[in-house]
Amino acid sequence: MSAHHFHPTVLREYDIRGIVDDTLNARDALMLGRAFGSHVVRDGGRRVCVGYDGRVSSPELKKALIEGLMDTGIEVQEIGLGPTPMLYYAVFEEDADGGIMVTGSHNPPDYNGFKMMLGKKPCFGAAIQALGQTAASGDFVSGDGAYGRVDLFDRYIQRLLGDFDGHAFKVAWDPANGAAGTAVEALIGALPGEHIAINTEVDGTFPNHEADPTVEKNLEQLKQVVRDHGCDFGFGFDGDGDRIGAVDRHGRVVWGDQILAILAGDLLKELPGAPIIADVKASQSLFDRISDLGGEPVMWKTGHSLIKAKMTEMQAPLAGEMSGHIFFRHKFYGHDDALYAALRLMNAIAAQGGDLAALKDGLPPAVNTPELRFPCDEERKFAMIDEVRARLEAEGSDMFTGDGVRVNTDDGWWLLRASNTQAVLVARCEARDDAGLARLKAALAQALEAAGVEAPGDL
């Protein structure tokens, strides 16, 4: 089997992702299958689950991936089209030695990629780079694999419902034409209450809006449904169903860190003192609230694989990110499943008065920016963060440097980090008042300009 070199931009920190027929193609999928299969076989494994999302390019990439896996002697169990969390569920329930999901997640339609598990753990960081090295050397295992299909969709839906407490709400649902659409339809068919679902048809062109619930404009359709039908709240999902967005009955967005705060308010009654992990983009008010509730707040790096690994290390029952990845080890498997998170959030809302709007209003107020994203060349973005960090360290700044730089000041904090999934820099500022926010935004703009990057208009 010949050697293969992946495009340098596709082997990312916690998954593989690129632009189809530009930086990523079917041959890449074939060679990834051979590299991944070789690692599984050398670790003593033999079975790998494979799933795929609703993107136009996913069936072709899935077919090539399976061929590559079988070339190494792997027994492939294909689970079909569905959300990424169904693939994670399959690996646990089928006791597989690994899993690969063909998905472009929340990226635009011309992107695609792969999320992976080695054993029951996420494949990320050095392990992804090792796959690239195996491909580049052509050091593949050779064998005659096998192919089979396993239909666990109904089991998956029943597993999600297993931890729902049964409270009836009026809920709007928007899977954004992503891979979770069919699962949403099945789920709401089994739930009490009244449910209005939109955009459930799986369509890889995403005709109604982008499948990214962290961008508020993508929630406008959901907000309108909530208002028009008098819903208690609404849920939106990303393209592969591992990230959740929420709006209350007024149509206001309940952001990822606020969702986590509401979940923590319920969970810490049962598990006092438990560690709860949030990513570096989360509000300081979340960390303070976890502490006030008697929990142990833990700030960690952004990235679903990184959070999952930290959860395992700390045996944390709950974690979350601003991007809407919510992770449960409590009663679940420790991975991010947005449909499961929606049901657990419904439980938490019911247990704390039944009104999501009131729970949002009860959270400590903060003046902050949304997540600001602006272009930065793929080859430049991490080096630019290093330059900013070095300059701030020389100035003696108080900061968290585990993921980009989060700088603490008397006014609040500002964050600058490089996205691991797109050619962008990500920034956020939070203060106690508008004057403080203005000073923090100015400090962030100054740091950018000192590194030769023009500050975006949002600053």
Convert 426-438 to b/e letters by CB count within 10 Å (16 or more is b).
Answer: bbbbbbeeeebbe
Whole-Å CA distances, 112 to 84, 253, 342, 374: 13, 28, 25, 21
State the number of CA atoms in the 13 A half-sphere of 397 facing the CB: 22
Q: Torsions phi, psi of 448, nearest 5?
A: -65, -50
DSSP one-letter string for 198-230: -S-S--TT-SSS-S-TTSGGGGHHHHHHHHHHT
Helices and strands, number each (H, E), in the chain: 14, 23
Strand, helix or coil for residue 252:
coil
CB-CB contact of 298 with 278 (8 Å)? yes
238: left (phi over 0), alpha (psi -120 to 50) or beta: beta
CB-CB contact of 176 with 238 (8 Å)? yes
Token digits of residue 293: 């509730």
Catalytic residue status for 397: no
Adjacent-strand bridge partners of 297: 276
CA end-to-end span of the chain: 51
CB-CB contact of 313 with 320 (8 Å)? no
Identify the sign of the CA torsion 313, 319, 323, 324: positive
Identify the sign of the CA torsion 453, 7, 25, 32: negative
Active-site residue, selected from the candidate residues 38, 105, 283, 285 = 105
State the number of CA atoms in the 13 A half-sphere of 31 facing the CB: 23
* Secondary structure (H, E, C), 414-427: EEEEECCCCCEEEE
Interior angle at CA 75, CA 37 and CA 61, nearest 5: 60
Report the alpha-carbon distance of residue 6 to residue 136 in Å, rounded: 8
Report the alpha-carbon distance of residue 108 to residue 162 in Å, rounded: 33
Report the alpha-carbon distance of residue 212 to residue 109 in Å, rounded: 12
CB-CB contact of 427 with 449 (8 Å)? no
Spatial CA neighbour of 451 closest among 401, 377, 398, 400 = 377
Pairing of strands 47-52, 98-102: parallel
Task: Supply the residues annotated as catalytic.
Answer: 105
